[in-house]
């Protein structure tokens, strides 16, 4: 948008907007006040853009995720190099880095080592002040001030913006440091400075889906994000499943329980959200007491000390909730024929006596014929005991205050997609036909595709949570959420079917195949990417698509960069379950004022080792795009908004000068 010149402002436009300008004059009541704000905003437009970090598919791996936040994907180590260069040894740089990441723990270690703590405090404070100055250099004083802890704001501001080399204030500056140490406040100041550095090096954080499932700490990650200074979420298929469960969807709840039991990961459910699993355990012990199918043993539990009895109980619970899940999903499929999922109605295709199933006109032998709660006459009907169990667990989900707070956070800070600074962010795919056109879905007897489909699904998912209990609108929204989890043309799932039943009960692996949406073939086609960007109102020439969902098999030579850099896949295996496929431990994409950088991470051992042995995550940076001219705030979405404010203020000045206000 071009800036308006006061002498070229159209008098008619000003008079049309006079009511709005009168309201604006309450905030800026004089020519001086309006002029000062214009000068301030115009200056801000020319500051370098803030640094954005993009991360996807965290899957509950809270330790490595929180460490990546603390070290800003390796950016803090680079800044230490920039600030201190050869004046600080490599050991000193490692030590300073860990201090910035974990200030409290590092101070405790130094005290235990019996070092001269006052000398150490003095050195640490000087180093942290230098780092804070560097991190804050591209922000206004006002923005930095808002980032400071209130208790120390005045002193920290003096330290950050004072040049200690100026003779007039050199002693003043040194005395502040000495006094902080003398009055025993050094620890608190060091923690405050470290947190300030962490905050300033990441201006905005984008999570491109799948915080939940696999790893043990999704709730810990969300506690961290809720208090994060600037974050947005694009919902992933695992997130939407938990959102459905938090909204009371029985089928989503059953899926959440099944996945948690499948991966032996009950921490998030029981410890994180206080979900009572006793009703399911009691039910499983009674009705699945003879369950011996090893397919229902928990996976990926090498680091968990489960006893044989615990594994046996999990197996029984896992089988019990799986059968309940298939029954509940059958109810939705029958209730919503427009979903086109009749091929997933499988219980009525089972011959319980022969132990076989008719699938795609072919008979397959089942590896398990133990179905004590299936009624052959009405296979999708819940038994009275199953109905009681799932309703009890549903109450546990609905009345978990922490879970509801986290789901509200997903809705308030999240969406199915986001356009930000000429970038399109979504988790899965844009559903497509085999010819590269957008797939049409019928929702409420109306066709939707591309962006319109995303917008409609986003709206319906909100109705599932915020509409009153037991209403038809809430039920439809909840069913749509379940469809987004596993439906054949869901933008979050991106496959023709979810072959859960086949993987559990049929050994023939040809039945396990799930065909990916054509999008995944076309995402390396620049013309298709341009078509997508245009549909989402972005200019293809200067825009990108960032997505996750399908792990990039780096170890097999696959690149996350598609369509000559137009589309970037960010699932690099944050989850330990996927690291054997990817060969790395996740990606971070960094978009700063110099351009785009892709950072790949090596596996993170533990927070304890990082602190005690000063072991950081080894990260490798790759420059994708380098801007010849530094990108300024005026080139961003925020800049566009500020320019609109400037233009409004110029019209206000015009109205003042013409005596209209």
Quick one: 39 exposed, middle or buried, by C-beta within 10 A (0-12, 13-18, 19+)?
Answer: exposed
Instruction: Tell me the domain boundaries of the chain.
Output: 6-47+641-657, 52-208+548-631, 233-409+441-515
> 530-579 pLDDT, tens per residue?
999 999 999 999 999 999 999 999 999 999 999 999 999 999 888 888 88
pLDDT at 303: 65
For 364, other C-beta atoms within 10 Å of its C-beta total 18
Cα gap 346→325, rounded to integer Å: 12
In residues, how long is the chain?
661
Cα gap 292→102, rounded to integer Å: 47
| Mean pLDDT along residues 615-619 | 80
User: Is 2's pLDDT higher than 60?
Assistant: no
User: Is 167's pLDDT higher than 70?
Assistant: no
Contact yes or no for 568/589 (Cβ under 8 A): yes
| Mean pLDDT along residues 614-639 | 88
User: Is 619's pLDDT higher than 90?
Assistant: no
User: Is 302's pLDDT higher than 70?
Assistant: no
Per-residue confidence band for 114, with pLDDT thresholds at 50, 70 and 90 = confident
Q: What is the mean pLDDT of the chain?
A: 92
> 303-314 pLDDT, tens per residue?
677 888 889 999
Contact yes or no for 493/485 (Cβ under 8 A): yes
> 335-359 pLDDT, tens per residue?
999 999 999 999 999 999 999 999 9
Per-residue confidence band for 257, with pLDDT thresholds at 50, 70 and 90 = very high
For 541, other C-beta atoms within 10 Å of its C-beta total 8
Exposure on the CB side of residue 168, measured as CA atoms within 13 A: 2
Cα gap 483→442, rounded to integer Å: 13
Report the percent of the chain where pLDDT is more than 70.
97
pLDDT at 166: 59
Cα gap 257→149, rounded to integer Å: 41
| Mean pLDDT along residues 394-400 | 96
| Mean pLDDT along residues 116-142 | 90
Across the beta sheet with 417-420, what order do the strands follow? 417-420, 423-426, 544-547, 567-569, 561-562
> 622-633 pLDDT, tens per residue?
888 888 899 999
For 407, other C-beta atoms within 10 Å of its C-beta total 22
Quick one: 281 exposed, middle or buried, by C-beta within 10 A (0-12, 13-18, 19+)?
Answer: middle
Residue 20 phi/psi, 5-degree rounding, is -65, -40
| DSSP labels, 360-422 | TTEEEE-S----TT--TTSTTPPPHHHHHHHHHHHHHHHT-HHHHHHHHHHHHHEESEEEETT
Distance of CA 20 to the CA centre of its chain: 38
> 466-504 pLDDT, tens per residue?
988 778 899 999 999 999 999 999 999 999 999 999 999
pLDDT at 1: 47
User: Measured in Å, how far apart are the chain's first and last C-alpha atoms?
Assistant: 26
> 532-544 pLDDT, tens per residue?
999 999 999 999 9
Report the percent of the chain where pLDDT is more than 90.
75
Buried b (16+ CB within 10 A) or exposed e, 124-155: bbebbbbbbbbbbebbeeeebbebbeeebeeb
> 212-252 pLDDT, tens per residue?
998 889 999 999 999 999 999 999 999 999 999 999 999 99
Helix%, strand%, coil% for the chain, nearest 5: 55, 10, 35
Per-residue confidence band for 4, with pLDDT thresholds at 50, 70 and 90 = low
Exposure on the CB side of residue 659, measured as CA atoms within 13 A: 0
Distance of CA 510 to the CA centre of its chain: 34
Per-residue confidence band for 611, with pLDDT thresholds at 50, 70 and 90 = confident
More confident residue, 267 or 207: 207
Contact yes or no for 198/72 (Cβ under 8 A): yes
User: Is 423's pLDDT higher than 60?
Assistant: yes
Q: Helices marked H in 421-565 — which ranges? A: 450-466, 472-486, 500-505, 519-522, 526-535
Exposure on the CB side of residue 340, measured as CA atoms within 13 A: 10
Which secondary structure element, helix H or strand E, spans residue 495, and what is its range?
none
pLDDT at 304: 72
Query: What is the value of pTM for the model shown?
Result: 0.93
> 200-223 pLDDT, tens per residue?
999 999 999 999 998 889 999 999
Cα gap 300→655, rounded to integer Å: 69
Cα gap 429→284, rounded to integer Å: 38
User: Is 159's pLDDT higher than 90?
Assistant: no
């Amino acid at each position: 948008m071009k800036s308006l010149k006061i002498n070229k402002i159209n008098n008619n436009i000003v008079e049309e907007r006079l009511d709005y300008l009168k309201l604006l004059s309450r905030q800026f009541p004089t020519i001086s006040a309006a002029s000062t704000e214009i000068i301030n905003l115009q200056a801000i437009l020319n500051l370098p853009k803030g640094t954005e970090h993009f991360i996807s598919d965290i899957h509950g791996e809270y330790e490595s995720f929180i460490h990546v936040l603390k070290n800003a994907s390796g950016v803090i180590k680079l800044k230490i190099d920039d600030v201190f260069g050869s004046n600080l040894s490599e050991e000193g740089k490692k030590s300073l880095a860990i201090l910035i990441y974990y200030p409290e723990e590092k101070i405790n270690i130094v005290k235990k080592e019996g070092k001269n703590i006052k000398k150490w405090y003095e050195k640490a404070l000087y180093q942290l002040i230098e780092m804070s100055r560097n991190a804050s250099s591209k922000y206004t004083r006002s923005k930095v001030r808002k980032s400071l802890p209130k208790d120390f704001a005045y002193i920290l501001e003096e330290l950050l913006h004072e040049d200690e080399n100026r003779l007039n204030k050199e002693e003043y500056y040194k005395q502040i440091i000495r006094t902080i140490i003398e009055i025993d406040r050094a620890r608190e100041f060091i923690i405050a400075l470290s947190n300030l550095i962490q905050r300033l090096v990441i201006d905005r954080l984008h999570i491109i889906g799948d915080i939940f499932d696999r790893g043990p700490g999704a709730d810990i990650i969300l506690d961290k994000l809720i208090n994060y200074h600037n974050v947005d979420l694009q919902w992933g298929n695992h997130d939407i499943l938990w959102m459905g469960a938090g909204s009371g969807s029985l089928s989503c709840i059953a899926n959440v329980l099944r996945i948690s039991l499948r991966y032996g990961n009950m921490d998030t459910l029981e410890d994180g959200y206080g979900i009572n699993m006793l009703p399911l355990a009691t039910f499983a012990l009674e009705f699945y007491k003879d369950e011996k199918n090893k397919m229902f043993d928990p996976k990926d539990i090498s680091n968990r000390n489960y006893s044989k009895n615990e594994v046996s109980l999990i197996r029984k619970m896992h089988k019990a909730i799986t059968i309940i899940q298939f029954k509940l999903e059958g109810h939705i499929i029958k209730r919503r024929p427009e979903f086109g999922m009749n091929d997933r109605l499988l219980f009525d295709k089972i011959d319980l006596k022969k132990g076989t199933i008719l699938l795609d006109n072919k008979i397959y032998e089942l590896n398990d014929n133990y179905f004590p709660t299936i009624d052959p006459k009405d296979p999708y009907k819940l038994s009275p005991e199953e109905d009681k169990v799932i309703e009890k667990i549903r109450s546990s989900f609905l009345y978990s205050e922490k879970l509801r707070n986290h789901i509200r956070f997903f809705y308030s800070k999240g969406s199915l997609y986001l356009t930000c600074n000429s970038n399109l962010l979504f988790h899965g795919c844009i559903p497509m036909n085999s010819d590269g056109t957008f797939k049409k879905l019928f929702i409420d007897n109306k066709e939707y595709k591309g962006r319109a489909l995303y917008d409609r699904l986003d709206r319906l998912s909100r109705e599932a949570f915020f509409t009153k209990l037991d209403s038809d609108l809430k039920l439809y929204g909840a069913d749509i959420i379940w469809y987004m989890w596993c439906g054949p043309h869901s933008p979050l799932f991106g496959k023709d079917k979810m072959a859960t039943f086949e993987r559990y009960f049929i050994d023939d692996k040809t039945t396990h195949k799930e065909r990916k949406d054509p999008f995944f073939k076309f995402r390396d086609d620049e013309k298709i990417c341009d078509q997508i960007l245009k549909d989402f109102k972005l200019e293809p020439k200067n825009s990108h698509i960032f997505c996750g969902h399908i792990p990039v098999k780096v170890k097999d030579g696959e690149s996350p960069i598609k369509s000559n850099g137009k589309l970037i896949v960010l699932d690099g295996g944050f989850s330990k379950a996927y690291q054997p496929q990817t060969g790395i431990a996740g990606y971070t994409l960094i978009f700063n004022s110099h351009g785009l950088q892709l950072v790949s991470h090596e596996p993170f051992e533990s927070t304890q080792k990082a602190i005690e042995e000063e072991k950081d995550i080894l990260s490798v940076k790759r420059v994708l795009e380098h801007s010849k001219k530094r990108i300024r705030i005026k080139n961003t979405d925020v800049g566009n908004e500020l320019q609109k404010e400037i233009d409004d203020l110029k019209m206000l000045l015009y109205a003042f000068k013409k005596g209209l206000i």
